[in-house]
Amino acid sequence: MLCVILAILVSFWNQHPARAAVLALLIAAVVAAGLLRGRYLLRRVGYLVTSEGRDQIRYEELADGAVRHLIIDGEMLTGAPHVVYLPDHEAWERSMPAWARLRRNEIVERIKQALGTKRYQFEELRVRDA
């Protein structure tokens, strides 16, 4: 996506350099505003939930002045809600960072609250016996 935008901007730059410069500044301002908004929300609320790539969900929280994060798998489906695969308690304890292991319910509730249920569906993954 970024490559396509850059290609269009370069092509536009050759024909209309002044307008292309303004467009580039506007794009940079929008990106910067989005990043600043995320950092502001992280500092104000203490946590932030965003997408990571196409399918995954990134949970970040501020603790002792540092940002720590974890990634939860998901799947974007055509014509259906984005599915977020929540590890069951056993899998959570095995796979998540130490700071998150005993906080599954709190973190999952925050993720559900941030994403909502209109565009997201949450499925708990059960651990299979080996």
pLDDT on residue 114: 92
pLDDT on residue 130: 42
CA dihedral sign, ordered 96, 98, 103, 106: negative
Structural domain boundaries, residue 127: 46-130
Total structural domains in the chain?
2
pLDDT on residue 82: 92
Same domain, 68 and 27: no
Same domain, 108 and 60: yes
Same domain, 76 and 38: no
Tell me how far apart the alpha carbons of residues 63 and 123 are, in angstroms, rounded to a whole number: 28
Same domain, 52 and 38: no
pLDDT on residue 126: 79
Q: Which two tokens stand for residue 115?
A: 């994403």
Q: Which two tokens stand for residue 128?
A: 């299979």
pLDDT on residue 127: 67
Q: Are strands 56-63 and 74-75 parallel, antiparallel or unpaired?
A: unpaired
Tell me how far apart the alpha carbons of residues 71 and 57 are, in angstroms, rounded to a whole number: 6
Q: Which two tokens stand for residue 58?
A: 């990134």
pLDDT tens digit at each of 130 positions of the chain: 667 877 877 777 778 788 777 877 787 777 776 666 767 777 788 899 998 888 999 999 998 888 999 999 999 888 888 999 999 999 999 999 999 999 999 999 999 999 998 899 999 987 664 4
Same domain, 36 and 54: no
Same domain, 77 and 30: no
